[in-house]
Structure 1
Amino acid sequence: MSPKSALLRGAAVVTAAGALIGMAAAPAVAKPHHDEPTVIAHRGASGYLPEHTLEAYALAVELGADVIEPDLVLTKDGELLARHEPVLDETTDVAAHPEFAERKTTKLIDGKPVTGFFADDFTLAELKTLRAEERLPTLRPDSAAHDGEFELVTYDEVLDYVGTLGRKVITYPEMKHPSYYEDKGMSIEDALADLLEERKLDRRWSPVWVQSFEYESLLTIDERIDNPVGLNIDGQGEIPDATLDEYAETLDTISLNKNRIFPRAADGSISKPTDIVERAHERGLDVHVWTFRAENSFLPANLRSSTNPAEWGDIEAEFELFYDLGVDAVFSDFPDLAVAARD
């Protein structure tokens, strides 16, 4: 994309995102804030618009997010596509394209068979004919109303857009399923490192952080770039001191499932916090937390407003619990709510 076209596209997206704010769920526009804790827009403003679209990222920026998070997968021709997983079925209209019907197949991801349409079986030009769809249409009908409107975007295009902004916004790409690509003879680590090097964004203080659920993948890319790197850790339960010691020697951040910090009790309610934040900070590790969502379906039982899974509960109280513990950053589908609770 040329600098001129990037500027025009960026201006158009910002204008469109601003117009869509009123349609989404009347989120309050917030001024950017760069003190801790940092607010990371999880897949963009994905509570309001279909995830991983330029429009969702632009809305997140307008709502005051400090960081936008593009998950990355590889296309057939080696481009970095902003999607949450290699399979396209849940978040695009690929099934409505008869010209691609024969591309449906079954592959192994993390050792499990998955059937669907895979991004790595499509060239970027083919993927550009698809349109994004809301992953959770029952919970987020306002976002689903925009199904079919927004094209799929590459990380290159996201960086073009961020370059047009009048303030610093960090991108936090997550390399999805590196082992899957390694088994196919592809390297998502090299693809990302190549792009960051080309753009001179591979330096320590560049506005790019890198993350993955695969520790070895982070060690691999860390050999080529100087950006901060962070390991995503799912589930709940204690992380031993020896493990934290190793992470402190090799990583900058651990990014934790909320249940690692405030475990869920047997009845689904939030319980007393663990000491993981304190122990990580003692070792110089930042602690990021995911994922904060407003709907009752995702909240602890004692913070829900009703039995309606789509209704919003007391997410402000949940934010405050984590902020009070001193976490360094939060991932949220609703960046405006994270900003409002912090400020």
Structure 2
Amino acid sequence: MVRALLLILAALVATPVAAAPGEDFIVIAHRGASGERPEHTLAAYERAIDQGADYIEPDLVVTKDLVLVARHENELSDTTDVADHEEFADRRRGKTIDGRLVNGWFAEDFTLAELRTLRAKERLPTLRPGNAEFDGLYTVPTFAEILRLVAAKERETGRRVGIYPELKHPEFLLQEGFDTVDLLVTALREADLDDAVDPVFVQSFEVTTLRRLNAMIEVPLVQLVASQGGPADEPSMTYAAMLSASGLAEVATYADVIGADFRLLFTAEGSPTGLVDAAHDAGLKVHGWTLRKENGFLPVAFRRPGGEGEEGCYNHMYDLLVSAKVDGVFTDDPGKVVLLPKQVWNGWCG
């Protein structure tokens, strides 16, 4: 694969201007501008909006008192300072989530008031030490606060800003007594953001969740798919089967977009797998995840000298995605990605 990618890299370097995306191509700020600020903070979302992202993406979990909040997972220790709070030491426990035992502190065991005493921290401090300098500055935001931020930035800038929420572990949380589907639908209706024309996508790895949403709201829905495994709520189903011609046709009955791991979009030789064309034939758009600037997240051929945290040739990864005709990309670095179609490479990442 490295040799094939090197050949592709050589061809891309010979092309002085970035590949041009489709007219409706969107840039989705993955957890905000999470390459520059701790993820899922109002600071990360606002920075992404200021940098021109088309959509911001909050992952949503729930508090004990039924408030939707933004965290990468319902387990809090990776992204907050909860472990430093002696008053919550007895809240640490183990839970089996989607078939996996997880130990830690969980958002659904805290009221919003208790959660407000925590502070966000960088999830990848070794890779992103600059982000870690912002540790302790920000609280865990509610979904309502994110919607207010978006509305305020729209008034300030005069442009629409989309939201792209993901419900995290909705089936598990439903079994725990928390219906995050209903909470999200209620929030979108109250904000008048539940129609097909509104700049909203709702995403989930779970099929039942998306089928419920499809019966409740009109906004586009996104079936997330990974390179291995299958939906947690459908143990007999695999993502591979969902991406067959018949599987895509079935997905199209309840969703509008496939949110695909990059590894599903390219072969080991670096060529398009045909998934994008197959999804388009089924009437589905494709949004790829996740474009990040650091070497550690890029194919070996697209890395530059330095460590895992050094900036690599993300521009060439972008070109591969555009050449595969994806309709949008999730990125931790929206400020860089929105500029790529306007840039001339001049071999800067050769």
CA distance in 1, matches of 2:123, 2:341: 27
1:112-123 map, 5 Å: 112-123=100-111
Q: Which residue does 1:37 correspond to in 2?
A: 25
Letter in 1 for 2:121: E
2:225 counterpart of 1:206: no
Q: Which residue does 2:34 correspond to in 1?
A: 46
User: Normalization by structure 1: what TM-score?
Assistant: 0.86
Match of 1:168 among 155, 160, 171: 160
Q: Which residue does 2:12 correspond to in 1?
A: none
Letter in 1 for 2:68: L
Task: State the 1:249 CA deviation.
Answer: 2.0
Equivalent pairs, count: 306
Q: Which residue does 2:132 correspond to in 1?
A: 144
Deviations for 1:121-142, whole angstroms, at most 9, x for unmatched residues? 0001111111100000001011
Match of 1:250 among 243, 254, 265: 254
2:87 counterpart of 1:99: yes
CA contact (8 A) 1:69 1:172 kept: yes
- 1:34/1:159 Cα in 2 relative to 1: closer, same or farther (>3 Å)? farther
Q: Which residue does 2:78 correspond to in 1?
A: 90
1:218-237 map, 5 Å: 218-235=210-227
Deviations for 1:221-264, whole angstroms, at most 9, x for unmatched residues? 2211111101110116682100011112221100000000014x
Q: Which residue does 1:64 correspond to in 2?
A: 52
Task: State the 1:307 CA deviation.
Answer: 5.4
CA distance in 2, matches of 1:141, 1:79: 31
Unaligned runs of 5+ residues in structure 2 are 1-20, 229-239, 343-350
CA contact (8 A) 2:22 2:327 kept: no
CA distance in 1, matches of 2:212, 2:275: 26
2:170 counterpart of 1:178: yes
Task: State the 1:82 CA deviation.
Answer: 0.5
Letter in 2 for 1:84: H
Unaligned runs of 5+ residues in structure 1 are 1-32
CA distance in 1, matches of 2:223, 2:306: 34
CA distance in 2, matches of 1:176, 1:75: 13
Q: Which residue does 1:157 correspond to in 2?
A: 145
Match of 2:115 among 127, 139, 153: 127
Match of 2:68 among 76, 80, 86: 80
- 1:93/1:156 Cα in 2 relative to 1: closer, same or farther (>3 Å)? same
CA contact (8 A) 1:293 1:299 kept: yes
RCO higher in structure (CA 8 A, sep ≥6): 2
CA distance in 1, matches of 2:293, 2:97: 29
Letter in 2 for 1:169: V
CA distance in 1, matches of 2:52, 2:140: 23
CA distance in 1, matches of 2:134, 2:25: 31
